[in-house]
Structure 1
């Protein structure tokens, strides 16, 4: 694994952008706009309203909430 390769939830970001056609910044803004929802409520929102798979939804929610400004 190279030193520049993303780890943890961020490792999903290239696939999320490619699969769903929106930049990560838009997904994070969408998650922040739905706060103060809980983690799994946010995952469900992405899955149900945007057709995102569970792993991708969980990764983007976890990363966004971990930033602390969410």
Structure 2
């Protein structure tokens, strides 16, 4: 049985289903934005892409700190 994702990755299935793009596509969007602060990236996802705060925060946290959430 596969282990359940922990931390921000636990949001990934619902992010992909709700917003219609893969997590890697969303990470490319964040990278291409040229923004670097957590607050700026969360606001980008919320205002430009209609994310709720929890989903925007989870994706941004994972994007900015990938090593922290490695299996």
Superposition TM-score, scaled by structure 1 size? 0.87
Aligned length: 67
Q: CA deviation at 1:37?
A: 2.6
2:36 paired residue number: 37
C-alpha root-mean-square deviation of aligned residues, in Å?
1.6
Superposition TM-score, scaled by structure 2 size? 0.86
Return 5+ residue gaps in structure 2 as ranges: none
2:10 paired residue number: 11
1:49 paired residue number: 48
Q: CA deviation at 1:3?
A: 6.0
d(CA) in 2 for partners of 1:6, 1:26: 19
Runs of 4+ in structure 1 off by over 4 angstroms are none
Look up the SS of the partner of 1:37 in the other structure: coil
d(CA) in 2 for partners of 1:14, 1:24: 9
